[in-house]
Structure 1
């Protein structure tokens, strides 16, 4: 039998692995029971046609990534106030829409996206591992030199690769809207600093309407991680409330990625 110290270490290690896999979307974790439903709907949607990530080349397509037996967030496509949108509905749910890239691309990019949130989750706190939910997250994953990982992160990456066939991303940057922390706040994930959240919208201003954002990916990565980014390896959208147990919903508008210096265009609401 393991002594109490080693037993606690094992339990914490399993918890770290579960959290990292959940947040970065390890490919071999259980998928939706019928993944073709939401994935095909996304592929055939006005939202996908209004989005522009063509510079990413050929991708495997969007995947609805569930995490074990956890209740998933329900994603669908449609329109909100004249704008093509992905609708996320979470009833204490946790799952991600992720777009892995066939080949990584240079991260000198402008990212344009929009979101609409009817209500923020005032029970959540990004710094508290027990309640670190977010109504909206736009996620970017990056490659890099894993030799600089701390021992714990190196161990996690090796275990993830052993289980899934792909390593943990070198770094994951999440754009979030938060009610608690001001714009510009960088919040490391409570379990691993290889995942960092950047607050790009804060407070109640903008609740209930579309909010358009445009970001310099390389500059944001530098601000969050203190170094230049490696190549971009994937995108993701996420709405989760499993830790707080709340019911939340959100809409994500089309996503546009362009090299720095080129204009970005996103779908705008139609006016009569």
Structure 2
């Protein structure tokens, strides 16, 4: 009996834990199902590959700008912790976060917060920065409705798989000065259309959770 009770407790715990985590991507089991393409200029090549023993998305851009996005409706007050893993071959050499001509990134993961009207939509771009110091944040060179936050910066850790975690609710409050309504989409993008350069990046699993990592 005690064993059965323990089993029920464990099953209940697992069910609760799963309910507290939303899998944005599970490339190894689902591939790119549920992801859509948004093209800005040309098509960045996104493909499923095996790297470091797991299935991930490889992105290659040569003067192109297109991204993958997945729609959802989640409460950022609850699902506030975004986790992902990524790797880059190198930064965009001529990239410069402060100019339109340099607004290219080897890797970025961003969260879209729809507004009641389209012009009220905002986004946090978590970028692997070219020049902006790690931890720095500035408005996007094209629109103040998108904030660029440097989670990594420079070439020092290029070629390494890194795991990141951000409190998107806290970041939104700090960057925009108010409260977000809902999470409408998560996107990834590798782009080099403004500089005309090249970039390669890899994206691993992405999740949204109600609690921080242990």
Q: Secondary structure at the match of 1:220?
A: helix
1:137 maps to 108
1:75–1:87 Cα contact (<8 Å) kept? yes
1:270 maps to none
Say yes or no: does 1:122 pair with 2:93: yes
**1:169 and 1:72, CA in 2 relative to 1: closer, same or farther beyond 3 A?**
farther
2:74–2:182 Cα contact (<8 Å) kept? yes
CA distance in 2, matches of 1:207, 1:172: 25
Deviations 1:166-221 (A, max 9, x none): x3562111100113111221121122211111111112231111011011110111
Higher relative contact order (CA 8 A, sep 6+): 2
Report the Cα offset of residue 144 of structure 1.
3.8
CA distance in 2, matches of 1:76, 1:132: 23
Deviations 1:13-37 (A, max 9, x none): xxxxxxxxxxxxxxxxxxxxxxxxx
2:34 to 61, 76, 87: 61
1:47–1:253 Cα contact (<8 Å) kept? no
2:150 maps to 199
2:201 maps to 250
Deviations 1:27-84 (A, max 9, x none): xxxxxxxxxxxxxxxx9941647x9xxxxxxxx92102223xx321000012211132
1:93 to 64, 74, 77: 64
User: Higher strand fraction: Structure 1 or Structure 2?
Assistant: 2
The TM-score normalised by the length of structure 1 is 0.64
**1:244 and 1:181, CA in 2 relative to 1: closer, same or farther beyond 3 A?**
same
CA distance in 2, matches of 1:99, 1:82: 25
Q: CA RMSD in A?
A: 2.3
1:106–1:232 Cα contact (<8 Å) kept? yes
1:115–1:251 Cα contact (<8 Å) kept? yes
The TM-score normalised by the length of structure 2 is 0.80
Structure 1 unaligned spans of 5+: 1-42, 52-59, 147-166, 265-272
2:28–2:54 Cα contact (<8 Å) kept? no
**1:74 and 1:228, CA in 2 relative to 1: closer, same or farther beyond 3 A?**
same
CA distance in 1, matches of 2:147, 2:71: 19
1:46 maps to 28
Report the Cα offset of residue 229 of structure 1.
2.0
CA distance in 1, matches of 2:205, 2:35: 13
Aligned residues: 188
CA distance in 2, matches of 1:105, 1:120: 32
Structure 2 unaligned spans of 5+: 1-24
